[in-house]
Structure 1
Amino acid sequence: MLSRKTAMILSIALGVAGFVQLTAQTVPESTQANVQKLISVLQSKASRKEKADACRQLGVIGTKDAVAPLAALLGDQELSHMARYALEPIPDPAVDKALRDALGSVQGKPLVGVIGSIGVRKDASAVQSLSRLLNHTEPDVVQAALRALGRIGNEPATKILRNHLRVAAAANQLAAFEALFRVAESMTAKGDMAGATAVYDLVQATRGAPHQVRAGALRGAVLSRGKEGLTLLSETLRSEDPVLFAAAVKTSVQMKDPGVSSLLIAALSSPVADRQIPVVQALGKRGDKDAVPALMPLARKAERPVRIEALRALTEIADPAAVPLLVETLSDSEPLVAQAAVDCLSSFPGGEADRAAIALLRSPDAKMRVSALELLEVRRAPAGLAELTRAAADPEPKVQRGAIRVLGKLGGPSDLPFLIGRFRAATEPEDLTLMSEAFSDLGIRSTDREAYVSSLVELLPVVQPQHQCALIRVFPALGGEKALRAVRVATKDANVDVQRAAVRALASWKSADAAPDLLAVAQNPRDPSDRTLAVRGYTLLAGSPDVTDSQRWGMCREASAVVKTDDEKKMLLSLLGKTLTPDALDMAMQHLDNPATREEAGAAAVLIADAIVAQKPAEVKAAMQKVLGVSQNQRTLDRAKNALAKAK
């Protein structure tokens, strides 16, 4: 059986395909003259494509006059489908007669298509003709006739389908079921619930039906009965048949009757986890708070998979009464169950879970206090900020550090003085790193970035070098002139650690205003490694999309005067590959003779050459010939050959 979702997807796909085809050509105005022109194409010796295009256009503007010419193509193996697509939308009974007449004259795939079109148009007058085709020797024809009868779905068609189901060949049985499902769905749409129930019951009673058919029939049989469907649902929830049991549970989620939850709760009495789990999941999806008392014992004591699903279901239902149980389960001896409780509390709707996490910060168990901090961070619960400052003084280091981390992520400007106090008292490298991260997190969210940076800059002269290093690490994330000025001064600090931290900060700066400072460090480094860091940061800034080719070339020229090592030269060549100017090509070629930078130079040269070949063909030709003579990289060689061909 085709589900409604599948049918909808197919319809959309066909509609999109049709739209794409139609937009590729101009559909003429709907006039008699234009219709006649298209008919003339069909009746001429025009090409297959021309006739197909005419059919496509007649599908939009076709009238009764086009029916006979289109019908003449129904037996054509190449054009039958296009003729049918043109006929189907034409609102004239002549189309139905033409399709019925074609049932006796066309064969093979065209016949299957004609039958399908009759189904699309729901031609009740074709029922008897379709009935005779149920004895056809070709399964495709029989199956198409069954589906068409299902789409027509009137009383005579339904009777034929019911009778045929008893004698259907195995190859055709699925199509018969699909047709009957379509009939039942049509009856349901029209409010004929008794008729739909009878069809579903017939399908359900058919021996040998595939699992998906049995499941679909049960669903329909339950839903079509309305309130009386509870009896059938109850019986099936007690069934030992796994297919029907699973179908009943799935169907229960779609039923709004409050009595359904009682039936599901009763089904939980089964001691088998494989039966309990889907029932628990269904109760969660239904969101019925009456299920909470039944789910809580399972969350406390059952097989592990059942406990986990019960915790998840309680979270879906979102009854605050479940929160204490979830908190209790955080310390469960089963790690997977404890983690499930963490996950559930993290996503539990409402403020009750926030309050529980805050209360948990006062637990005598340090592990629980750490869990509370993790929950507050994930839930982003600002209501816990006051408790976080107390937790930052916790005797357990893990709790202290967790509180600082969460304050950084959730706090506001008013928390900065507290964090500064903790920062000045910190001595361990781990704590200083954590404080840097907290300052960064808090500063990124600050609405007054300049004032925030000023507060940190003012600390630099009054704290120890290791604290200065930690503060300097914060500035690249915050940016701005004040932060950059502080880092610039620190690059000349007498303390080596502070000076190196400042160079690293400059090298990770996000905006181009740090470029002159990086160049200055590269020109006069205290240590060779400082120059490498500065060159790396400088080339990264120069490679920004915001930098124009002319600006980038100027930066390349400045950088070329300070690079010394092969690694630094490779950084420069990477930048040159983004600098699409003739001067950049000349500079890249200067590094082609160095074995250590040859491939990087070749890669940069071919990128530049491809961009400037029209402007400088002679220069590109000479450069590419040289690249072809030294490069061993196949991709570079291919690009060089391509640029050389353009240069000629």
Structure 2
Amino acid sequence: MWNSTLNKFLLLTAILLANASTLSFAQQDKLLAVLDSNATLQEKSATCRELARVATKDAVPTLAKMLGDEKLSHMARYALENIRDSSVDDALRNALGEVTGQPLLGVIGSLGARRDTESVVALAALLNEPGVNQAVNQAAARALGNIGTLKASEALEKALPEASDSNQRAICEGLLRCAEALQATEQSEAARSIYDRLRDLSNAPVQVRAAALRGAILSPDSDGIALLTEAIKGSDEALAAAAVRAAMESKNAGVTDAILAELSNASPKRQGLLIMALANRGEARLLPAVLQAMQSDDEQLRIVAFRVLKRVGDESCVPALLNAAVEGNAEISQAAIESLEILQGNSVDDQVAGRLSEAQGKMRIVLIDLAGRRRTAAAIPALWKAVDDDDSSVRTAALASLGATIDTANLPKLIARLGPVKDDKEAAALDNALRDVCLRSVDREAAAAQLATALRTADGDVKGRILDTLNVVGGASSLKAVTAAARSNDTQLRNEGFRVLGQWKSVDAAPILLDLHNSTDDGRLKIRSIRAYIRIARQFDMPAEQRTEMCRTALKTATRDTDKQLVLEVLLRYPSEEMQAIALEASKVPALKDQAMLVVLAMASKDINRADLGKALAQAGQKPVKLEIVEAVYGAGTKTKDVTATLSKYAKNYRIIFLPSTSYNESFGGDPADGIVKQLKIKYRIDGKQGEVSLAENATIVLPVPK
């Protein structure tokens, strides 16, 4: 029995791997034979998926027999829907009277997806048929909508008066789909008739009437302008919003005139909608109306106006926007600044630079910030003047904008400002400005060299700030300067150099850290350097051979067992035969034996034979324990699930637990917090002693020995 099942599975696998372009009729017959066999649900589903790519009309009878199968109907339809032959439609129509439940809903949906016009009569009979499940009524309505012919729409309209409230929505949805299909086939009069019918349906959901209004406005055979104007003037906010959306889509030039005519008479809320519609239409005549809306007493309308200026504003808007940025509340000020940031035209930059030289107070701060956002070169002289202002907030803002504006030719001038400062915000702004200029430089190495030169004469804490900046800039020159600091005779500078190397963002610091570890006599610095070396092996992309060699070196070099244990974590994170060999070597160290062998087993967990697990652990020196899972919770925040029973099922007599899948979600039967990083929290007893552990999602489950 086992050999028969195995042979069948191997045959299926070979078939599915065959190239579709060379699939012969004989091979299709083999796929169909799988469907007629006792193959598993998974095997038959995979076969249907393959048939969806390659099946011909000869596959229809076999697939049609599966349409009533609760578990396989959807996969059979997946294959059938892709076969371009009328026999598929015949099979689906025949199934309408034979299948029930969920398969019937699927068959109805497939007829709609294939737009089978010959099924209209049969589907129409299901719309309000007594005793039929409402889900069937609604599926038939949507399928008729997908078919989208005049006869389909007539069937839906006929069923509408007698429809229940729950069925009415589906019939209306079907009619709207029909109207779109009829419009696309130039049957505009029929489409407009449907839209008018649904607009006048007083008891229809507002979404239906809104969609019908949109369709009517966009219909070329209707008086769309009159309908648009009526909705804009009306009291129904949903219909007004639908009309505005239609106005954004319409290519009718008269729409703009209609909106402009109603703009001044509309309520502030309605004006906001109309302004956005005109902005989406790219209407240049909108600007005067927007400038007027900026003066409105209605705050929301003003915010809309400021935001719309991003699209329609010009240099004439600068004074009004600047006043709003200074005098408005936080939301209005932000909207005005965002519009000022992207206004086009050299005149805008000229106005910013011209006003900055004379501005005071909050206006000066706004203009300084704006000069940086726009990278206004003409404002650079005024910005240099501002960095010497008596007001620290002005100095801080000016430094930030200089960082965004100047080029490397001005870098020495910025470096010259390095020195002890009382204001931490100003110091941070200067450091960020230096980094911005260096990172934008076409020659980053030369920029870093200038910072390295400044490091030699810097005082106190400034040295650490320069080293941090070099870390951000990166590159060979930066690394050379930081390495020299780490080898300095100046204790403070040396400590700062080690600190920054420990945070270095590239692999090229690894050999330097190793050399520093081997050359220093300071035990504390030895620990910092070897841990930084291991961090690089753990965090950065590199060839597998390089990472393997780094782990091997770290195990030999580290003097403390706690540091060597960090190497074991790296081995487990990047499993391979070479990493297993290193872990086996580490198991010879008495203090590492227990954890190293667990790492070896964890790396082999995908292939290990569970029946031989106890033997393997015993040979590895692991002693059996009495393990009890007290409580296990998987998830994040309030989105958790109790997985105690599942974990207990797989917990044996050892501290390592192998689940049936490397995915916690699969092993625990679902994801309790989709899209969120989760944890597995376990409370347990080993030989009667209570322990707790929190593991990252999908981590190998190794339970520490309770103390």
Q: One fold, TM greater than 0.5?
A: yes
Distance in 2, Cα, partners of 1:79 & 1:578: 45
The aligned runs of 1:561-576 (5 Å cut-off) are: 570-571=562-563, 573-575=565-567
Q: 562, 574, 578: which one pairs with 2:570?
A: 578
Of structures 1 and 2, the larger Rg is shown by: 1
What is the TM-score with the length of structure 1 in the denominator? 0.75
Letter in 1 for 2:620: K
Distance 2:602 2:40 in 1: 44
- Following superposition, the deviation at residue 329 of structure 1 comes to 0.9
Looking at structure 2, the residues matched to 517 and 51 of structure 1 have their Cα atoms a distance apart, in angstroms, of 60
Superposition map of 1:613-632 within 5 A:
621-622=620-621
Q: What is the match of residue 175 of structure 1? A: 170
Once the two structures are superposed, the pairs formed by residues 496-645 of structure 1 within 5 Å of their partners are 497-498=492-493, 500-510=495-505, 511-515=509-513, 518-519=516-517, 522-524=520-522, 537=532, 539-541=534-536, 545=540, 546=542, 548-560=547-559, 570-571=562-563, 573-575=565-567, 577-578=569-570, 581=582, 585=586, 589-590=590-591, 606-607=598-599, 610=602, 621-622=620-621
The correspondence for 2:227, drawn from 221, 232, 237, is 232
Spell out, residue by residue over 1:611-630, the C-alpha distance to the aligned partner (whole angstroms, 9 max, x if none): 5999xx89983477899799
1:446, CA displacement in angstroms?
A: 3.3
Does structure 2 retain, via aligned residues, the 8 Å contact 1:450–1:480? yes
Task: Say whether residues 1:277 and 2:288 are aligned partners.
Answer: no
Task: Kindly report which structure 2 residues correspond to 1:418-433, keeping only aligned pairs within 5 A, or say none.
Answer: 418-423=413-418, 428=422, 430=424
**TM-score, normalised with respect to structure 2:** 0.70
> C-alpha separation between the residues in 2 aligned to 1:94 and 1:488?
76
Report what 2:129 is aligned to.
Answer: 136
> Which of 321, 324, 328 does residue 329 from structure 1 map onto?
324
SS at match of 2:249: coil
DSSP 3-state at the match of 2:235: coil
Say if 1:432 and 1:467, in contact at 8 Å, map to a contact too: no
Q: Which moved more, 1:433-442 or 1:308-317?
A: 433-442
Write the distance in 1 (CA, Å) between the matches of 2:60 and 2:30. 14
- Superimposed CA distance per residue, residues 255-310 of structure 1 (whole angstroms, 9 cap, x where no aligned partner): 23343234334444457444333333333333322111111122233222221121
* Matches of 1:62 and 1:446, distance apart in 2: 59
Distance 1:311 1:33, change over 3 A: same
**DSSP 3-state at the match of 1:523:** coil
Q: Give distance in 2, aligned partners of 1:269 and 1:214.
A: 27
Take 1:89 and 1:321, find their aligned partners in 2: how far apart are those partners?
Answer: 59
Query: Does 2:298 match 1:303?
Result: yes
Q: Which of 387, 394, 397 is the equivalent residue of 2:392? A: 397
Contact 1:284 1:312 in 2 (8 A): no
d(CA) in 2 for partners of 1:501 and 1:302? 57
Aligned equivalents of 2:79, 2:452: Cα separation in 1: 76
Who is 1:9 aligned against?
none
Instruction: Select 2:157's aligned residue among 162, 166, 172.
Output: 162
Q: In the alignment, residue 293 of structure 1 is paired with which amino acid?
A: P
Amino acid in structure 2 at the alignment position of 1:339: Q
Q: 1:506-559, CA deviations, whole angstroms, 9 ceiling, x for partnerless residues?
A: 44444225325642685147xx6x666556545545656455344444345444
Matches within 5 A, 1:35-114: 91-93=84-86, 96=89, 100=93, 112-114=105-107
Give 3-state SS (helix, strand or coil) of 2:203's partner. Answer: coil
Q: Which deviates further from its counterpart, 537-546 or 391-400?
A: 537-546
**Letter matched to residue 519 of structure 1:** H
Deviation string for 1:198-217 (max 9, x for gaps)?
11001111221111111110
Q: CA deviation at 1:482?
A: 5.5
Equivalence for 1:597: none
- Name the stretch that deviates more: 286-295 or 87-96: 87-96
Contact 1:606 1:643 in 2 (8 A): no
Mapped partners of 1:91, 1:134: distance in 2:
28
Residues 1:199 and 1:319: Cα distance change in structure 2 (over 3 Å): farther
From the two aligned structures, give the one with the greater strand fraction.
2
**Please, which moves more after superposition, 182-191 or 477-486?**
477-486
Distance in 2 (CA, whole Å) between partners of 1:583 and 1:125 is 71
Which residue does the alignment assign to 2:407? 412
Report the number of matched residues: 601
2:289 aligns to what?
Answer: 294
Preserved CA contact (<8 Å) 1:366 1:396: no
Picking from 183, 201, 210, the partner of 2:205 is: 210
Gaps of 5+ in 1: 1-19, 564-568, 593-600
Distance in 1 between the 2:413 and 2:251 partners?
A: 53
Q: Percent identity?
A: 31
State the alpha-carbon separation in 2 of the partners of residues 111 and 468 from structure 1.
76
Distance 2:268 2:21 in 1: 65
Deviations 1:41-82 (CA, angstroms, capped at 9, x unpaired):
88x786796887887777666666666676666666676666
The C-alpha deviation readout for 1:213-235, integer Å capped at 9, x for no partner, is: 11110000110136831111001
Alignment RMSD (CA, Å): 4.7
Q: Can you list the C-alpha shifts for 1:394-450, whole angstroms capped at 9, x where unaligned?
A: 4433323332333334432211232234347x7547455554443333333433344
Match of 2:639 in 1: none
Equivalent pair of 1:74/1:80 in contact (CA under 8 Å): yes
Verify the 8 A CA contact 1:119 1:149 in the aligned structure 2: yes
Check whether the contact 1:28–1:34 (CA below 8 A) recurs between aligned residues: no
| Cα distance change, pair 643–194 in 1 and its aligned pair in 2 (3 A) | same
Aligned counterpart in structure 2 of residue 221 of structure 1, from 203, 216, 225: 216
Q: Which amino acid aligns with 1:170?
A: D
Alignment of structure 1 residues 19-30 onto 2, 5 Å: none
* 1:64–1:542 distance in 2 versus 1, CA, 3 Å: closer
- Equivalent AA in structure 2 for residue 136 of structure 1: E
Deviates more, 1:145-154 or 1:368-377: 145-154
Q: CA deviation at 1:156?
A: 3.6
